[in-house]
Amino acid sequence: MNKINFKNVHSIIGADAIIHGNIELSGGLIVYGTILGTITTEGPVRVAKSGSVLGNIIASDIHIGGKVEGNVIVKDRAVLGSFSTLVGDLTYKYLLIEEGAQFKGKCELVSSVSDGLKD
């Protein structure tokens, strides 16, 4: 499994920032602060240890180091870091859960979601 590429991320939510509302972008996003709303992007999302998202996330990949309360849908890889908390359902192609991560929700593979949509 390849690592998630965060080299060309141009959007960062600082540790002291609190965003109320949805975020839509085409590139990647790193969250050190708090977002109260849905994140939709075609790029990767990283929620740092200090970051939190209260809303759904739709992205190409995700690395959660902090807290997410909402459903997460990624096209490729999801990583739940050792200090992460995810309360919500997770849809992914590849999944890595590190020791110490907390997860409450259900998991579903991307392919099984696509199959269900065809019916």
SS3 label, residue 110: helix
pLDDT tens-digit map of 30-59 = 999 999 999 999 999 999 999 999 999 999
Domain count, the chain: 1
Q: Which domain holds residue 110?
A: 11-118
Rounded CA separation 32/49 (Å): 7
Q: Is residue 2 part of a domain?
A: no
Q: Is residue 47 part of a domain?
A: yes
Q: Is residue 6 part of a domain?
A: no
pLDDT tens-digit map of 63-98 = 999 999 999 999 999 999 999 999 999 999 999 999
Kindly give, in sequence order, each residue whose CB lies less than 8 Å from that of residue 35, ignoring residues fewer than 6 positions away. Answer: 13, 19, 23, 51, 52, 53, 54, 55
